Amino acid sequence: MPSLATRIRPIALAALALCAFLPRPVDATPADPMHQIIQRISSYLHSNEVDGVTPDPRNLQNPSEANRLTIVPQLLAYYELYRSKPIQSYHDDIVSRADFLLQHFDEVTNRTAFDGMLGSALLSAYEVTGDRRYFDKGSIIVQQCMGLYGWRNTLNWGLMSGLALAKYYRLTGDPDAARKLREIIESLPLYQNADGSFPHYCPGSRDVHYTAWMAMELIVIKRDYSCPTMDRLLERMFAFLSRRVDPQGVTTYQEPCPGGAPGCWFYYYGLGTGCGVDYDTRAWVNELGYSALVFDYFRDGKYNDVIGYLYQLEDRGRFADKWDYMPPISDPLYLWASAEPSVVRTSVVFWSLARIYSDRETAAPRNYAANHVPRSSSGKVEDPAARDPDAPDSSSWQFALEDTNLVDWTGRPRDRGADATPPDGRPTRVPVGPAAGAKFETAEIDHSGVRLEPVRPGPAPGAFEARFFLPREGGVSLAVFDATGRRVRELVSGSLPGGAHSASWDGQDDAGVAAPSGVYFVRLHAASITMARRIALVR
């Protein structure tokens, strides 16, 4: 008589064959998949380590930026995990990355506020290990940040300095670091829009990505240094971000103007508002990490929406650069936006989620039951188009490109008289300031009479020509800067008569060395006016 196993086997094989033709079940998203994502990211980074660190395999042609967005956030993430669970493997991950940053210190610094993240990472490594080498290099960056003033230390760039200053203050109690940090934070309300958002480059524009990133910076800083202004800023940023994230956890970057005027849209990324010196900040995956941290900080139900979307995007601990809005291959940022997987985005998301994990009282998953209604400090529901009577009038803002691509407050009235065309090509009236229906005028044209025309190919092959107009004789500075704000080439410096002028750039720096492919800006300063035009250098 056949055995039971022999009799069952044909039935089992038939059942398996039938199952092969049935639809596969869709994996359900856990209520809070953050822990799984963190574990898988860490496994992915470990499996791709080279000499103790996990670099992005692309040739991103900017060592400072590449390391700031890979090795530095990896170190900061393992620091956060070590705070919650001080085990040897996290300690070793911190040390290997801190040692790499010491060995390549001159390569990974660029002497601007961007180095603040690096300073914070090295000081965090010192906090864990007590290794004085990390403290000494971190202190160099702190002193550098202490010496940055004005446009070099405000908005996102100021908060980058603030990351290092806050950590240094926690470790040393240095009152000068506290004063500098307070100066940076107290400057922020000047630039915050009435709806709680912040601009990236052009004042008055609203940028979801950089509002979320600045909120993360403030939350990170707040552990080591806190003041009431930070709470007020964060509450309004949270209210703005709450309105921009849909129930699926996906960010929306535009909406019809209040009142439903035909063809009228609000755009919530700088380039969409007509800010021609900006890039497309939509759909970078690391933005979801920032938003998840903000919503978790406020114990808001949108955290579950965003972390669920991140879980759907994650592939074995890896993320792509973007989830949507891919740039054309001709875009100089294409290399930074097209990787799948991307060590850059994966590393920054890792830091964001590790920070959430570290800030929680327990390791239990969270499932926040309800979303808060975004409200102003007065308790009234916020209107995206509402005008805050105490906020600075954005009609008096002008754009300036200084050493770190920051903005200039001049107090000069502006006349917005031109309709803008957003990147998708649809002609539309784009509100730029807090007032609905305001129009955008390019920041490179000022009614003092100074003009800087769009940069065009020059008369010589491979050269660019910048044409500008001066209404009268006066001092002029015309120079080329790279995307980090470093001056590459001085084209004009001195006094010129009124009238039309031009200058050429041959793609070389002041030392005669060919500049690499990338985004550059020609900056003109004349008659107390600063304006800039974007160049895409492709070799």
Tens-digit pLDDT profile for residues 405-434: 222 222 222 222 223 333 333 323 223 222
What's the CATH number where 310 sits?
1.50.10.10
Q: Is residue 444 part of a domain?
A: no
Shared-domain flag, residues 121 and 257: yes
Shared-domain flag, residues 481 and 337: no
Q: Is residue 14 part of a domain?
A: no
Last residue of a domain, one of 359, 381, 399: 359
* Residues 155, 184 contacting (CB under 8 angstroms): no
Looking at residue 533, its pLDDT comes to 77
The 3-class secondary structure across 465-513, one letter per residue, is EEEEEECCCEEEEEEEEECCCCEEEEEEEEEECCEEEEEEECCECCCCC
Shared-domain flag, residues 66 and 183: yes
> Could you tell me the residue range of the domain that residue 170 belongs to?
34-359
Q: Is residue 367 part of a domain?
A: no
Q: Is residue 431 part of a domain?
A: no
Looking at residue 400, its pLDDT comes to 29
Shared-domain flag, residues 351 and 491: no
Phi/psi at 353 (5° precision) = -70, -35
Last residue of a domain, one of 310, 337, 359: 359
Shared-domain flag, residues 67 and 209: yes
* Residues 202, 444 contacting (CB under 8 angstroms): no
Q: Is residue 406 part of a domain?
A: no
Q: Is the pTM of this model over 0.95?
A: no
Looking at residue 460, its pLDDT comes to 62
What's the CATH number where 517 sits?
2.60.40.4070
Last residue of a domain, one of 359, 381, 396: 359
H/E run at residue 255: strand 254-256
Q: Is 289 left (phi over 0), alpha (psi -120 to 50) or beta?
A: alpha
Q: Is residue 414 part of a domain?
A: no
Looking at residue 502, its pLDDT comes to 92
Regions of the chain with pLDDT less than 70: 1-28, 363, 369-448, 458-462, 483-485, 539
Shared-domain flag, residues 500 and 352: no
Using the Cα atoms of residue 507, residue 510, residue 515 and residue 518 in order, give the sign of their dihedral: negative
Q: How far from the centroid of its chain's Cα atoms is residue 117's Cα?
A: 12
Write the pLDDT tens digit of every residue in 30-51: 789 999 999 999 999 999 999 8
Q: Is residue 157 part of a domain?
A: yes
Q: Is residue 240 part of a domain?
A: yes
Shared-domain flag, residues 183 and 47: yes
Best CA proximity match to 38, nearest among 354, 374, 254, 512: 354
Q: How far apart are CA 273 and CA 432, in angstroms?
A: 6
Shared-domain flag, residues 271 and 160: yes
Shared-domain flag, residues 348 and 483: no
Looking at the structure of the chain, the number of domains it has is 2
